[in-house]
Structure 1
């Protein structure tokens, strides 16, 4: 056999062999999360950290919860080798008193194409109150915030707007933001750190989507594992107006223009 042809075939074989063996691989920092006891009506949330330790990008095709009470969020872009991503699981406790144990199945093109994560906890009464000793209070995480209100100014009805708050853990144990609650059910949240260590800061983002007109003052309760103050109240203020685009369309007229 011609030497050049032999070397070419060998190179093709090595490349094909590499492609067969090269694959992304996901490892998870935690396989499960226990929310503990939460008040009914809480939208409990936790972010699972996942890292691609393989040598090819990994695409998460789907994240399927075991019931409609759990809403997942996951990265739609490929997770590159060496990179870390977050898979968020949100449990809606409204109307679901008692213990819960739910699974979330991740499907991807990783070496292990299917992986299951778990969340659990117990839903207590809406006005959940627990007696703690002074020692337990001293050892608790403590949620602190620099300001307690945010003014957006004018917002269009249905427009999404983000308010950012700097929060700090002044306690001795890791602080976990477990959810937010608002009367309008129009506020969602995101935290820059899933667990805020003692003395550390993080950014809390509240995404507000107003659906009522005129001046709005939305009280948002931030729920955490701070046993001294498990519900920190923040205020979102805005003057909500009709969509400016809709007004412009009405002003310009709605008569269709024929093709020419």
Structure 2
């Protein structure tokens, strides 16, 4: 009888060992959401626990962030049954605007070796500019061209313009020098909450070359005291343009 019980125990142990499996479980689920954040909070950080809910040692073979704006070092890659490791996630959102979603791939010794962790945030900027740069139509010497962007005040309070600085330069041309650029923004203008404000920049280039321009708008906002809008373009001589197939 003792031999029978011993054999049964040995068989049960061998059976359980044979079918033992690791099991990764991410605390909080496979999506981590910071919610609404501001660029000033960047980089965003979170410590996420990776549990082994199985009955065999879990090995984290590799952790692969989906882009260079994300890092995810792990404090240990060997997790015993019932234990956990900590994944320290960092996401740089300083240049983002609006919803951001990135992925982190976790490779293990499980039967399905890849698990994907999604990380999310909604970057709220007090003041946004769209598009981000001044885009001019084809530029011709001594002819006016207009570029437009829209500024939106996303706060709940009016923002007043306290200063405007405009510059435009022709570079990499036959003669480097200034170009004449004017904007419709004036000191004292008010950016009302949630109301689009169109900035119009009128440019009069004086020589051919590469245009580099900048509009700097200072405000009384503590959250966004400086709005800087850059612009580029190629300036050509209309006399050198082909007469056939020309679309101006």
- Which structure's CA Rg is the greater one? 2
Q: Which protein has the bigger strand share?
A: 2
Q: If the length of structure 1 is used for normalisation, what is the TM-score?
A: 0.41
Q: If the length of structure 2 is used for normalisation, what is the TM-score?
A: 0.43
